Amino acid sequence: MTLRVVLIGYGLGGAAFHAPLISSVPGMMLVAVVTGNPERQEAVRQRYPGVAVLPDASAVFAEPQHCDLVVVSTPNRTHVPLATAALKSGLPVVVDKPVAVTAAQARELESYGPPVFPYHNRRWDGDFRTARRLIAEGALGKVQRFESRFERWRPEVTESWKESRDPSDAGSILYDLGTHLVDQSICLFGPPTHVYAEVDTRREGAQVPDDVFLGLTHEGGVRSHLWMSATAADLGPRFRVLGSEASYVIQGMDGQEAALRAGRSPREPGWGQMPPESYGLLGVPGRARPVRTDAGAYQDFYRGVAATLQEDAPPPVPMSDAIAGLEVIEAALRSAVGR
């Protein structure tokens, strides 16, 4: 059975992170894109001829029999209302991160019945896949500290809902980049038992946090140190994983986002592969060797969605992990207030 997919939203997320991936997965077919923006409507028609373009989602929910999956890639404040409408129509839904503003909202989405798939694509970054594999193989020994960073140098504030101080917009860097960092740590080590946070607003004119550090303690004693910043004048390692026998350290960013922004497709040969000069190092001081980075594979998220809906396989990202991640963010905000 081919899954008929309707994508709601065609900004950066829809155009770069969803439509190309959906179109690359066997057994999935993009049948409609919902956007009220005339320029984006024309962009859909140019890149995906034959795909219906709808000005709003009302027709989708009014006639759900014409669709098998809804994907929500819209501003954060609309995630829950649109996902709720899809679920109440009996349609499973992929929801871009963060799946909701609060853990309570996410639990309510889960209660409606049809599957909810949190779009935590960074589990398929090549560097994270490599770190996860090395940890699973025991190449580091017992992991003691997991350091992870999404740091940028963007000192000027741009006008965007992501800069809104309205809590319903979930606009801070903690929700934007922190969702990924927290999810990766939960994926590796499970939900933390303790959360410590430093949440700051650094840039002139900024209304929401743009420089955040999280310290998480997991069962078994592993500590995750997570940095996210728009004000980093020097960029630290993407990952620095310290174990009892070795470390794994890698610089730079997975290349899939840049490739998708440039209009490339996961169908291309060599998708997600990184050049040897970008490989991370495995070892101890004075004895570290390059380790080939596993290929990134964002398309595997949608392969997992298809397997869940068609074969009753486990979801690619459990909703329970997304709920745990939102609980961490809420605890971080409480921790920052209490400092």
pLDDT in tens, 39-63: 999 999 999 999 999 999 999 999 9
| pLDDT, position 278 | 97
DSSP state for residue 314 in the 8-state scheme: P
Which residues of the chain fall short of a pLDDT of 50?
Answer: none
Domain ranges of the chain: 3-119, 125-296
Q: What is the pTM of this model?
A: 0.95
Helix axes 319-338, 178-189, angle to 10 degrees: 120
| pLDDT, position 166 | 84
| pLDDT, position 164 | 83
Burial of residue 78 (number of CB atoms within 10 Å: 0-12, 13-18, 19+)? middle
| pLDDT, position 160 | 82
| pLDDT, position 198 | 96
| pLDDT, position 158 | 86
Alpha-helical runs (H) found in the chain: 12, 19-24, 38-47, 58-62, 79-88, 103-111, 126-137, 173-176, 178-189, 256-261, 299-311, 319-338
For domain 125-296, say whether CATH 3.40.640.10 is its number.
no
Token pair recorded at residue 64: 């759900």
119 Ramachandran zone, left/alpha/beta (phi>0; psi -120 to 50): beta
Residues in the chain: 339
- How many Cβ atoms from other residues are within 10 Å of residue 116's Cβ? 24
**CATH number, domain 3-119:** 3.40.50.720
